[in-house]
């Protein structure tokens, strides 16, 4: 055999051996680094990966270790150097949170996949609010969740795409609630104009989570129980409700976040995702693929609506968490891990709000009171062998027919009278036309005002859940005019609704904002601060719209300018007192006052 050929074969064998050793070394380093990440020893994990060949895969893993270590510079450097799509996205997200959108866009154009595409779509959209949603998403993905929710609360309500706005509001409300930012979450829920299709149950579950985080355990428990009643009729997904309750019991940031919606469980790519004890990384440390549930732009989970749903495959979940046999009770649930921050107004205004009538008594007993047993027994008593004459038979026929009519009438009456039993289907928008007609008829009867108000609330809840915003607004206006103007929550929501239609609804905005402000002392903590700030803002903006219209018509301009000046000044002073952003309030105040001194502290 030729000696040169033998040398070539030997050299090839040596290269293969060296290559094999390099592969083994990288795999061993990956395993060791992962174990160190599990132990929380991130510097040692970086050293383990730095001692081997710096392949694109190794660099991406180093970026993931930096993410787990809250080291944004390490995420950016190693992610960009990897040249892999997931690494480029991680690096771009760091640039976004540093407000370096041009650098982020450059990296995203080099990346592939739906996440990079969605980031680019939002960053380059004509709607000025869209880039802000990209920044908020990047903050959440990089685990600065509070800043992400705060940014979202500023930009999402201003999105021009109505459907996207409502879906994003619901998503961010759930995220904010999941980390204990309940006041911000409530504000986002209040902004929703029409319910995203098939997500009314999520809206109601998020509302219950907010109440739970605020310490209103009885109110939250009653709301969750009402939703549980709707599982059996296919209106609420069993697994979705279980995830919502489990999230409510673990509110706060000191826990796992297996899903990007903030909940402790979700459905992603037809996979059941639950907390698993793994490091909180968006990309799998070994196969470097995006993990289920970690798409920051992923749609809200589409749980199966069924009384007995077919369980979806579970991703790395413990046995106890995977079973979810039934919806647990909240009656003995622990307090949330992170208490609600109390940026409260004057202590005199800290009276806790009276909870909305939570059902303390189970309604089915009312249904059982129907006189059905007596009706059944009466014909049996009449039909006695000794009674054979014609009148007796006639009496029997009359007895048999009348109870059947009475039974139907009484059943309908019970269905309409039992407001507690009607609340669960109303929350899901599932009241029948006959039930709605029955309730409307009861509103015409001489009943106590408190009862009329309760009936009206059931009808409003049903209209809102169906997504019929015009009908909901009409019912809300009727409720405020006819039954109760003392509820600041309802006045607040109606003023917010009207504020989307300026200047035509401006007088209504001002009127109902003032009504809400008159009764604002029922709010507490951050809810008080957030809602009062919003009311001052919408009132001032409504006055400005009237001033502008009067200027164009050259009629009553000075009167509306003076009103705008006063309202803008009050908005500005409250912003200063609560450390809120008062930039827009100051600009409006100066514009209306025509002098800077009027708006100075």
Residue 12 pLDDT: 46
Q: What is the pLDDT of residues 487-531, one digit of tens each?
A: 999 999 999 999 988 778 999 999 999 999 999 999 888 889 989
Q: What is the pLDDT of residues 342-396, one digit of tens each?
A: 344 443 344 434 443 434 434 333 333 333 333 333 344 333 344 344 444 344 3
Cα–Cα distance between 305 and 176 in angstroms, integer?
25
Residue 527 pLDDT: 85
pTM flag (> 0.85): no
Residue 116 pLDDT: 92
Residue 22 pLDDT: 53
Question: What are the extents of the domains in the chain?
Answer: 196-341
Cα–Cα distance between 482 and 538 in angstroms, integer?
24
Neighbours of 386 (CB within 10 A): 5
User: 268 phi and psi, to 5 degrees?
Assistant: -135, 125
Cα–Cα distance between 534 and 513 in angstroms, integer?
9
Question: Is residue 158 within 8 Å of 152, Cβ to Cβ?
Answer: no
- SS3 sequence of 42-68: HHHHHHHHHCCCCCHHHHHHHHHHHHH
Residue 53 pLDDT: 87
> Mean pLDDT, 10 residues at a time, over the chain (601 residues)?
49 47 76 88 89 89 90 92 92 92 93 92 93 94 91 91 92 93 91 87 93 90 90 89 91 82 86 74 86 83 68 42 37 36 41 40 35 37 40 41 44 68 87 91 91 93 88 93 92 91 88 94 87 94 92 86 93 92 91 87 84
134 Cβ neighbours under 8 A, 6+ residues apart: 96, 119, 122, 123
Residue 23 pLDDT: 58
Q: Nearest CA to 280 among 294, 269, 268? A: 294
């Amino acid at each position: 055999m030729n000696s040169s050929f033998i040398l070539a074969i030997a050299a090839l064998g040596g290269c293969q051996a060296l290559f094999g050793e390099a592969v083994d070394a990288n795999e061993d380093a990956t395993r060791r680094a992962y174990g160190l990440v599990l132990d929380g020893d991130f510097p040692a994990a970086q050293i383990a990966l730095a001692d081997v060949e710096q392949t694109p895969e190794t660099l991406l893993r180093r970026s993931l270790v930096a993410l787990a270590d809250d080291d944004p510079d390490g995420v950016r450097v190693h992610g960009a150097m990897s040249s892999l799509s997931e690494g480029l996205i991680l690096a771009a997200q760091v640039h976004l949170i540093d407000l370096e959108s041009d650098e982020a866009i450059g990296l995203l154009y080099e990346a592939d996949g739906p996440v990079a595409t969605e980031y680019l779509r939002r960053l380059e959209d004509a709607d000025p609010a869209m880039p802000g949603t990209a920044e908020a998403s990047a903050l959440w993905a990089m685990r600065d969740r509070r800043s992400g929710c705060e940014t979202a609360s500023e930009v999402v309500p201003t999105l021009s795409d109505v459907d996207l706005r409502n879906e994003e509001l619901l998503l961010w409300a759930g995220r904010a609630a999941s980390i204990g930012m309940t006041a911000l979450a409530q504000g986002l829920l209040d902004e929703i104009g029409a319910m995203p299709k098939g997500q009314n149950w999520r809206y109601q579950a998020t509302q219950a989570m907010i109440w739970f985080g605020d310490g209103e355990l009885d109110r939250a428990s009653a709301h969750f129980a009402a939703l549980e009643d709707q599982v059996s009729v296919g209106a609420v997904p069993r697994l979705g409700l279980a995830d919502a309750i489990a999230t409510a019991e673990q509110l706060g940031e000191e826990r796992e976040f297996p899903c990007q919606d903030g909940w402790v469980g979700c459905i992603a790519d037809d996979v059941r995702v639950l907390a698993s004890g793994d490091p909180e990384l968006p990309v799998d440390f070994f196969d470097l693929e995006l993990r289920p549930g970690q798409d920051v732009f992923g749609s809200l989970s589409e749980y199966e609506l069924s009384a007995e749903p077919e369980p979806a495959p579970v991703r790395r979940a413990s046995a106890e968490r995977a079973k979810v046999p039934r919806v647990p009770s909240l009656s003995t649930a622990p307090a949330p891990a992170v208490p609600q921050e109390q940026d409260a107004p004057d202590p005199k205004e800290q009276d806790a709000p009276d909870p909305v009538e939570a059902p303390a008594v189970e309604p089915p007993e009312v249904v059982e009171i129907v006189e059905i047993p007596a009706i059944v027994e009466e014909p049996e008593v009449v039909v006695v062998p000794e009674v054979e004459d014609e009148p007796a038979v006639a009496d029997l026929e009359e007895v048999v027919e009348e109870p059947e009519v009475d039974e139907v009438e009484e059943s309908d009456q019970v269905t309409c009278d039992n407001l507690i039993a009607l609340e669960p289907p109303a929350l899901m928008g599932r009241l029948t036309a006959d039930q709605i007609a029955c309730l409307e008829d009861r509103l015409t009867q001489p009943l106590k005002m408190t009862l009329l108000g309760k009936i009206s609330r059931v009808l409003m809840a049903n209209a809102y859940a169906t997504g019929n915003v015009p009908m909901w607004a009409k019912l809300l206006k009727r409720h405020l005019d006819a039954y109760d103007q003392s509820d600041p929550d309802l006045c607040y929501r109606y003023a917010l609704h009207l504020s989307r239609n300026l200047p035509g609804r401006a007088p209504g905005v001002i009127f109902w904002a003032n009504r809400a402000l008159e009764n604002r002392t029922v709010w507490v903590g951050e809810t008080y601060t957030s809602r009062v700030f919003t009311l001052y803002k919408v009132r001032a903006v409504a006055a400005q719209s009237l001033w502008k219209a009067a200027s164009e018509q050259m009629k009553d301009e000075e009167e509306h300018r003076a009103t705008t000046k006063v309202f803008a000044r009050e908005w500005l002073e409250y912003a200063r007192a609560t450390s809120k952003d008062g930039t827009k309030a100051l600009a409006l105040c100066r514009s209306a006052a025509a002098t800077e001194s009027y708006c100075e502290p």
